[in-house]
Structure 1
Amino acid sequence: MTTAPDWRRMTEADLDAVVEVARVSFPDHPEDREVFAERLGLYPDGCLALGEPAQGYLVAYPWRADQIPPLNTRLGAIPADADLIYLHDLALAPEARGGGRAARAVVRLLHEVAAARWPAVALVAVNEAAPFWRKLGFQERETPAIRDKLKSYGPDARYMVRRLQRLPEED
């Protein structure tokens, strides 16, 4: 009997596998290995990998509300005035999908973020994933500035925010 992979802290050794999962999951929004490496270096607490070798990943870091970090661009630093956690990416290889693995990663992140006293998590839902995020308590937020930035993500992109008052139970 094979045990299902579990989420763990990402390491630099995971980056090649992470880039491959990203390439398959988001072919219209490629990001370079250096971008993932920088985000891991800037905020390792927000970077998770599924299994070994990595069959999935989650990348999150402190950012500003109602702002969307540019894709495939280095950040340079975490903003000093960051006021929430931005969930930049969550992806699983096709063979790792199902079984609630993605939701477990998000719940883990939400608990860690709440414990660190961040008030919210924001993200951009793409690939028709908004219903998944709604089930986890994320709500769409739209402003004219956000609407303009979302255009590069495709017609179904939604900026979503999850306040951290009540959290789902961990498995």
Structure 2
Amino acid sequence: MTMYIADYKRFDVINGKGLRHSLFTSGCTHHCKGCFNAATWNFKYGTPYSSELEERIIADLNMPDVNIAGLSILGGEPFQNADGLLGLAARIRRDCRGKDIWIWSGYTFEEIMADADESKRELLSYCDVLIDGRFLLEQRNLKLKWRGSENQRVIDVKQSLITKQPVLMNC
């Protein structure tokens, strides 16, 4: 299945730590009440992912004289597009030294680790920070950093993969 992209934003300072670029995938079956990006629930919203976009993202991450921290991947639901994102994530690890990957997901760390779909766990392994958990309108808190509801967590993925349990980041 072709992965669709809802948007690609360069020079984003809202979705993660530091100056970043952000990729918004299309497609989500969580359908969280009050979702800020409900248009991306449709798996064919936006434009098909292309090798040209991938090249642009890699070039943008490696811009000389600009301190880009990394790429944020949001949605939709990125883990429902894991197969389509694996190549990009692997290229960032290989070709973009020192750049991190943040992913926002309605799935929890535990759900991803328990999923039979190996591509989800592989995508997680490329990730540095995971903001996990479905958005819950009744727990919305606009004062939270990088998340929208109290149940969501900001997880240090590398440490969590070592300990096999979520290790929260201080934010």
- Give the TM-score band, short-chain normalised: 0.3 to 0.5
TM score, norm. by length of structure 1: 0.32
TM score, norm. by length of structure 2: 0.32
